[in-house]
């Protein structure tokens, strides 16, 4: 049986909520991707977060990750994130740059406000050519906040994992 990890980056908790549902339904370990410099999670400061995310994107920054994640111990790695500026947050680029996913199965999921996956699943395939990247799960932010359980259950069933 494959050893599984759910790893995620989340500021407002939506990707974390989906990640927790996946971990609960699969029995996978759960690890948050933690930035060295935390992002402001107060939604009243959304505009400031959006400006920061845009600057990181435009400057092709790679925000540092505070915690080490032992991906070597896992066969399947679920990777979750919110959509920022029609792509994943730049810390995900750091994550994919930092770790070697060769021979691993990556299963992406994301939360969004109408952009679906924004092409990020294909970006992961390009960044990690030695990995198998399965069909991802885009979850609209409101659904992620309320109850993504059914969407996660149906998605996992459709992946046909052993």
Express each pLDDT in 102-157 by its tens digit.
999 999 999 999 899 999 999 999 999 999 999 999 999 999 998 899 999 999 99
Q: Are 139 and 109 a contacting pair, CB within 8 Å? A: yes
Backbone angles phi and psi of 154, in degrees to 5: -65, -40
Spatial distance between the Cα atoms of 53 and 22, rounded to a whole number of angstroms: 26
Band of residue 86 on the pLDDT scale cut at 50, 70, 90: confident
56: domain CATH number is 3.40.50.360
Q: Quick one: what percent of the chain has pLDDT higher than 70?
A: 99
Sign of CA dihedral 91, 97, 98, 102: positive
What CA–CA distances, in Å, run from 130 to 40, 53, 100, 105, 127? 35, 29, 9, 9, 9
- 28-39 tens-digit pLDDT: 999 999 999 999
Query: Does 1 score more than 70 pLDDT?
Result: no
Spatial distance between the Cα atoms of 98 and 77, rounded to a whole number of angstroms: 15
Q: How many domains does the chain have?
A: 1
Q: Quick one: what percent of the chain has pLDDT higher than 90?
A: 91
- Determine the structural domain holding residue 48 and report its residue range: 4-159
């Amino acid at each position: 049986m494959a050893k599984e990890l759910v790893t995620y980056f989340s500021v407002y908790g939506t990707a974390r909520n989906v990640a927790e549902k996946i971990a609960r339904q699969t029995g996978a370990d759960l690890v948050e991707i933690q930035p060295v410099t935390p992002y402001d999670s107060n939604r009243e400061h959304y505009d400031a977060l959006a400006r920061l995310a845009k600057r990181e994107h435009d400057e092709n920054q790679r925000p540092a990750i505070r915690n080490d994640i032992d991906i070597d111990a896992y066969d399947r790695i679920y990777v979750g994130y919110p959509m920022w500026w029609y792509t994943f947050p730049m810390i995900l680029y750091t994550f994919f740059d930092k770790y070697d996913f060769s021979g691993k199965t990556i299963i992406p999921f994301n939360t969004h406000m109408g952009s679906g996956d924004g092409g990020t699943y294909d970006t992961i395939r390009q960044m990690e050519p030695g990995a198998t990247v399965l069909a991802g799960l885009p979850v609209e932010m409101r659904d992620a906040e309320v109850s993504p359980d059914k969407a996660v259950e149906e998605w996992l069933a459709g992946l046909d994992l052993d």
